[in-house]
Amino acid sequence: MAETIGFEKIEESEDEGMLQLVGFEIANQQFGVDILLVQEIIRSAKVTAVPNSPEFVEGVINLRGNIIPVIDLRKRLHLYEETSEARNWILILNIGDRVVGFIVDSVTKVLKIAEDSIEPPPEIVIGGLENQYIAGVCDITGVLFVILDFSRVLFNEEYRMLKDIDQDVEELLLDGDMMI
């Protein structure tokens, strides 16, 4: 059903102070995510759209009997730069016991970096990216990798949604296109 790339778990004792990142690309920007968060990477899964769900929710997929929501990371991070590449990679991450799929443009490689080479997010916005979702950045052979804080990517929005439920209802109600 879905193509899977597996990662061997790295013994932590051996690489103290080292961090393994899965690198991926969205809108020509390089990103990284801690390999320990990555459950698996799949391609070509059929995504079932969920009407009326938040815009960034692409839908849900059937992952071996479990229904997993899939979030379009491009939309979630508001990166609307056009690319011609096929966007069919789904990173399945396990964030605080929640399994969520994130659609990315492509998965590049696994990198090993020293933890101290990670710098705090810069004040300025990188490629139109809001820095609240950035855990840090690091420079690898001249390419700037953005390490995303996925718990924020996921929960920040939820928090906002909970807070603004009523407002959202209003928005929904005002959305004329959705009307009958």
Partner 1 sequence: MSEIDMSLLPDFIVEAEEHLEEMELMLLQLIEEPGSLELLNDIFRPIHTIKGGAQYIGLQKVSKLAHSLEDLLDLMREGKKKSSSEIIETLIEARDRIALLVGELSASSCEESSVDDLVALLTGMLADGKAVEVVAPAQDEMTTPQCDYQEEEDEELFSVFLTHLQENYTALVTLTRELPQSSDCITLLNESQALLDALHSSANYMGYDELVGRYNHWRSEIEQAIEAVIQGTSPSFNFMLDISAELKERFPQLKDVDESVGDVTDDVMRAFAEMEAAGESEPDLPEGSSDPQPTTGEDVTEDVMRAFAEMEAAGGSEPDLPESSSDPQPPTGEDVTDDVMRAFAEMEAAGGVELAPERPASEDEPQSTSEIDLVLLPDFLVEAEEHLEEMEEMLLQLMKEPGNLELLNDIFRPIHTLKGGAQYIGLDRISRLSHSLEDLLDLLREGEKSSSSEIIETLMVARDRIALLVKELTANSCETSSVDDLLTILAAITKGDATGGMTTAESVKPQDEIAQTAAIYQEEEDEELFVIFLEHLQENYTGLILLAQELPQSSDKIELLNQSLVLINALRSSANYMEYVELVERYQVWIGDVEQAVAHLTQGEQVELDLMESYLTELRRTFPQLTDVTPAPAPVSDPSNIKVVINEPVVGGLEDTLLKRDSTARSSSAEQVKPPSELYNNLSSALDTSLSQGSNAEDYKNLQHVFDELVSKNAGSAPSSEVQASKKVTPSKPAASAAVKEQKPSKMARKIKKSVRVDADKIDALMNQVGELVVDRSYFFQLFNEMRDLQRHLKETVGLEQKDVKLVRTFIYRLSEAIAALGRTSNELQEGVMKMRMLPISQIFNRYPRLIHDLTRNSDKQVNLIMKGEETELDRMIVEELSDPLIHLIRNAVDHGIESCEMRLKAGKPEKATLVLEAYHESNHVVIEVTDDGRGIDPEKIRKKALEKELFSAEELENMSTNELIPLILTAGFSTADKITGTSGRGVGMDVVKKNIEKLNGSLEIDSKLGIGSQIRLKIPLTLAIIHALMVRVGGDLFTIPLANVEETVRVFKHEISMVEGVEIIHLRGQTLPIFRLSTVFNEKCTERPDKSFVVIVSVGGQRTGFVVDELLGQEEVVIKPLADYVQEKSGFSGATIIGDGRISLILDVYELVRMTAKRQAKKQLEQTDKIKSKIKLH
Contacting positions for partner 1 (CB under 8 A): 1, 46, 48-54, 57, 60-62, 65-67, 69, 98, 100, 157-158, 161, 165, 168-169, 172-174, 176, 178-180
Per-residue burial over 94-110, b if 16 or more Cβ lie within 10 Å, else e, is ebeeeebbbbbbebbeb
Comparing CB distances to partner 1, the nearer of 28 and 132 is 132
CB-wise, 48 or 132, nearer to partner 1? 48
- At 108, the amino acid letter reads T
Q: Mind giving me the DSSP string for 82-93?
A: ---S---EEEEE
Nearest CB to partner 1, comparing residues 2 and 79: 2
> Least Å distance between CB 61 and partner 1?
7
Q: Which is nearer to partner 1, 64 or 109 (CB)?
A: 64
Task: Give me the least distance between CB of 113 and partner 1, in Å please.
Answer: 31
Give least dist CB 79 to partner 1, A.
20
Q: Residue 177 CB, nearest distance to partner 1 (Å)?
A: 9
Minimum CB–partner distance for residue 73 and partner 1 (Å): 15
Nearer to partner 1, 25 or 168 (CB): 168
User: 86-91 — which CB contacts under 8 Å span 24+ positions?
Assistant: 88/43, 88/44, 89/24, 89/41, 89/42, 89/43, 90/41, 90/42, 90/43, 90/45, 90/61, 91/22, 91/24, 91/33, 91/38, 91/41
